[in-house]
Copies of this chain bind each other. A is one copy, B any other.
Amino acid sequence: MPLKNRPEKSAELRELALFSNMDDAHFDMLTRGAYVQNFPPAIELIAEGEPSDFLFVVIEGSVELFANWNERETTMATIRPVSTFILAATVKNAPYLMSARTLEKSRLILLPSEGVREVFDLDAAFARSVVTELAQCYRQTVKQSKNLKLRTSLERLANYLIRYNDTNGDNNAFTLPTEKRRLASYLGMTPENLSRAIKSLQQYGVMFDGQHVSITDDKELRQLAKPTPLIDDPNL
């Protein structure tokens, strides 16, 4: 359904940091050819290598970004509401480097890439927001590379748990937001290896019960994980 028929969704979009400071007229241009669309779970939205026709915004549900090579696959990120994905491909008018699929029933806004690039040239405030967003994405992947190159898979898991706990109530108890096999892929390991890593973490003060995690000895866990903002702070 065209976005213009859904003013409440349009308002939601407008509140995103990326779009909040731009001119009204430009926002209208941007959303003119936009659609709000519902997708069932496990739908492949885009495939790596395709031209970037749309900028996507996740309104509800969740989307997995992943990549393939030589029969292998890895999860690059999970996008949750409300945020955009594949902004870089859109502004560069270059092929997607990642594929995307819905993880669950999801509602997305599709903004034609053409419009994003046009408005980008017209609206300085929007351009500034794009820069901030891109810089953020860039730094996120730099941290991701450091994580992969400097840490073992056990250390990556330990830090993932600390980070997730910190950003979700800090109660030392939470439920994993994804299936373990996806978490494994995200962390750059196999499901089997994750299973074993989970077992190993018992001696460092982490209890697993299915999807439920409780950190029983925060100090012990941090001693293993040695978290640093320069890798683990999502806001840096």
> Which residues of A approach B to under 8 Å, CB–CB?
48-49, 67-70, 72-74, 76, 87-89, 91-92, 94-95, 97-98, 120-121, 124, 127-128, 130-132, 134-139, 141-146, 148-151, 188, 226, 228, 230-231, 236
Contact = CB atoms under 8 A, between A and B. Distances in A.
Given A67-B146, A67-B230, A95-B230, 5 more contacts: A68-B150, A69-B230, A74-B150, A87-B135, A138-B138
Copies in the complex: 2
8 contacts: A67-B146, A69-B226, A72-B150, A92-B132, A95-B236, A120-B131, A141-B141, A141-B144
A138 to B, nearest CB: 4
**Main SS class of interface, A:** helix
B91 A148 contact: no
Name, among A49, A88, A130, A135, the residue most crowded by chain B CB atoms within 10 Å (CB to CB): A135
A97 B146 contact: yes
A109 to B, nearest CB: 21
